[in-house]
Structures are given as C-alpha cells and as structure tokens.
Amino acid sequence: MIFVTNDDGIDAPGLQVLAEALETLDEVYVVAPDRERSAVGMAITLHQPLRAKQIRTRVYAVDGTPVDCVDLALGTLLPEPPRLLVSGINRGQNLGADIHFSGTVGAAKKGTLSGIPSIAVSLALEQIGEQPDFHYKTAGTIACRIAKQVIEKGIPSHILLNVNVPNCGLSEIRGIKITRQDRGNYSINAVTRLDRGGRPYYWIGGERTQIDFGRDTDLHAVHNRRVSITPVQLDFTDHTLITPLKSWLDDENMQL
C-alpha cells in the first residue's frame, strides 16, 4: 500500500493527480490536511486534539499539519505500514533552501524518520515563466515511475528523495538529473502596513537570491527542463567538522 499526503490540502488538484497515478502501482491511502498548510515545515499540533474526517474509501482529511497527517496515518488510520510515502504534488517548487520550510518535504521527512521510504514531489512553476496550465499530469507520471523504481530498489533508511518536475508536457521534459540542493537563499523582506487603527502589521517573504546556482544543482536542472531528484539526508551533522572543532572548542579553550 502507498500512502499519499501533501501540504496544499485535501482538495488540491496535485494530490488527486498523484493518488490516481500511484493507484496503477498499488492501493493508495490518502491522509492530508483539510486546508492548505504550505510552508509549515515539520510543525506538529500538540496543544489541541486533531480530527480526521473520512471523505471516501481510503481518503481522510485532518485538521492539522502535514506531519500531523503522517503521525495519524501511521499511528492509527492506515491498516498496515505503507511500503512508500509520496507527498505532493506540490503547487510550486521545493528547491534549494525551500526544503527547510516546505510542508511537502516536511511530511516526507517525517515518513523517513518513521522508517518509511519517502518521496516529496513538487511542480516547479517559477522556472518556466508564465504558464497558464498546471502540468500535474506530467509530475504524476514521473512520480509514478520514480515510485516504482524506489519500491524495487529501495532507498537508504535516513534518506528521502526530493523530486521537482518542470511545469511542461511530458514530451518537453529533457530527462532526469540527480542533483544537489542549491545553496542560495531568500532576501529578507518585511513590508510594513498600517491597519485601520493605525497599528503596524507586516508581510514577510523575500526574493530568491541565487548565490550558488552550480550546474549540478536542483535549481539548474529544473531551469533546463530536467526533472531534479535530490537525495536529502536527515542527519544534518557535518561529519567533516567534528575533528577540526575538537581542536579549539575544547575544555581548555572553554575553561572547563
């Protein structure tokens, strides 16, 4: 059985397309937020109870975050552990630093942490320019092919696959590229406005600043109409710095 979730909510077209595509491989269970919960990362709801509403057979909407959905699905709603979790298809790319904020990737991270092979799938919109159509079908087809391979070959237990698909027809895709995460970030931008009482309120959200943009990155691949697949590890430790740090962040220098 394959477990599908997302962060755009239960009514999102990307979720529907993904579930339908994966049904050609195996039985699909959907447990997804009852409304859009994009950019909530791995947030969890601990201070209020959660409700799950069964929409139809094997489909549940939860009044929580994407990670709440994974917890509920694995903890109680699914009859058995799934052999694969696929999160998406997100409306918009999750490239570079986006993966830290993404609820789509957050759900896949939670799946990985729970021992389920997990894939995050996003439809990259900004790279192709103005597109009147959302090519979820392309992303669904590709997600299904990747899922089939992952079920066959497996992925290491602490790794998830972050997949970004260019927003174009399947025949316009120039291939698959295994990539690394771009190291660019967003500019800091806080816009101040005044409410009717004269009190300030704020909008945050900057522009992507492409300080990296190497040819081996996820951003570069999608810009060139290639499907980007990044193996993302959940161990954030920089193992190369353990030994160098010991030489100066030590008892003697810390006077302990």
Q: Which residues bind Mn ion (CB under 5 A)?
A: 7-8, 38, 90
Residue nearest to Mn ion (CB): 38
Q: Which is nearer to Mn ion, 40 or 76 (CB)?
A: 40
We find the least distance from the C-beta atom of residue 98 to Mn ion, in angstroms, to be 10
We find the least distance from the C-beta atom of residue 42 to Mn ion, in angstroms, to be 14
Q: Which is nearer to Mn ion, 8 or 182 (CB)?
A: 8
E strand residue ranges, the chain? 2-5, 28-33, 52-56, 59-62, 84-91, 118-124, 159-166, 176-178, 185-186, 190-194, 200-204, 208-209, 227-233
Look at residue 206 and give its three-state secondary structure: coil
State the alpha helices, DSSP H only, in the chain: 13-22, 66-72, 98-101, 103-113, 136-153, 218-223, 242-246
Q: Which is nearer to Mn ion, 44 or 211 (CB)?
A: 44
**16, amino acid identity:** Q
We find the least distance from the C-beta atom of residue 110 to Mn ion, in angstroms, to be 15
We find the least distance from the C-beta atom of residue 156 to Mn ion, in angstroms, to be 26
Q: What are phi and psi of 70, to 5 degrees?
A: -65, -45
Q: Which is nearer to Mn ion, 40 or 144 (CB)?
A: 40
Handedness of CA 43, 45, 51, 57 (dihedral sign): positive
Compute the distance between CA of residue 250 and CA of residue 256 in angstroms, rounded to an integer: 8
Q: Identify which of 185, 202, 206 has the alpha carbon closest to the alpha carbon of residue 193.
A: 202
We find the least distance from the C-beta atom of residue 79 to Mn ion, in angstroms, to be 28
Q: Which is nearer to Mn ion, 7 or 98 (CB)?
A: 7
